[in-house]
């Protein structure tokens, strides 16, 4: 929909730019941040944790048995479930946290400056909020759904990467599913070991790396 301002005006052009930015950064179905914007935000947060040393948590979650929703009730019902879960997750986290839809039924949350005990509480609050949903997918037909969550803290003061951080959170998500779904499994911050790849990134000499890249 075009803005109400006169075509060609500064306000009209700004509204067009804002709309295009939303299209490029937002997921059309859920209204959440899309995967591309999430990956950029995660890279910024990994860099901030390395520089500031503040704890940060990445939560990965997806809707349990979502294929059965589509198979039994149709894709329109599946879309309604995704929108309802997205809204519930946003309501369960802080305004400063970033919630993204990163796949079909997959979501991610970046929680900056998040201590271990806070992360545990937030993950459980998200799980519980979703489990309480009653989603009307058609007249007289209401569905309930659950989510599984996995979380990992970024190592403070360590030069990590979004890929390594995501892999660690994904491992906890797989554990939550293996243990029965509808649960949150977090990697304790005190047990978050720095991987060999992260040690290499931490201690590698930029000059040496440049020399190795030379022919």
> What are the catalytic residues?
105
Q: Helix or strand or coil: residue 24?
A: helix
Q: Which pair of tokens denotes residue 150?
A: 């996995």
Token duo for residue 82: 């995704």
Distances (CA, A) of 19 to 11, 26, 98, 172: 12, 10, 20, 36
Helix (H) or strand (E) holding 135: strand 135-138
Are 127 and 149 within 8 A, CB to CB?
Answer: yes
Pairing of strands 135-138, 141-143: antiparallel
* Distance in angstroms (rounded) separating the CA atoms of residues 206 and 200: 11
Cα dihedral value 49, 55, 178, 137, nearest 10 = -90
């Amino acid at each position: 929909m075009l803005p109400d301002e006169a075509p060609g005006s500064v306000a009209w052009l700004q509204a067009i730019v804002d709309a295009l930015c939303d299209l490029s950064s937002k997921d059309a179905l859920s209204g959440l941040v899309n995967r591309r914007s999430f990956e950029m935000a995660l890279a910024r947060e990994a860099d901030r944790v390395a520089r500031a040393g503040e704890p940060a948590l990445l939560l990965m979650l997806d809707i349990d048995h979502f294929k059965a929703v589509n198979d039994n009730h149709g894709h329109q019902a599946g879309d309604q479930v995704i929108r309802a879960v997205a809204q519930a997750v946003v309501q369960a986290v802080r305004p400063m946290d970033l919630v993204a839809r990163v796949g079909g039924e997959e979501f991610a949350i970046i929680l900056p400056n998040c201590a271990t005990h806070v992360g545990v509480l937030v993950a459980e609050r998200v799980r519980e909020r979703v489990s309480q949903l009653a989603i009307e997918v058609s007249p007289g037909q209401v569905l309930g759904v659950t989510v599984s969550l996995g979380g990992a803290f970024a190592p403070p003061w360590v030069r990590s990467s979004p890929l390594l951080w995501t892999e660690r959170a994904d491992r906890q998500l797989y554990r939550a599913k293996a243990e029965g779904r509808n649960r949150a499994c977090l990697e304790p911050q005190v047990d978050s070991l720095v991987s060999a790849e992260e040690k290499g990134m931490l201690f590698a000499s930029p000059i040496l790396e440049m020399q190795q890249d030379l022919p």
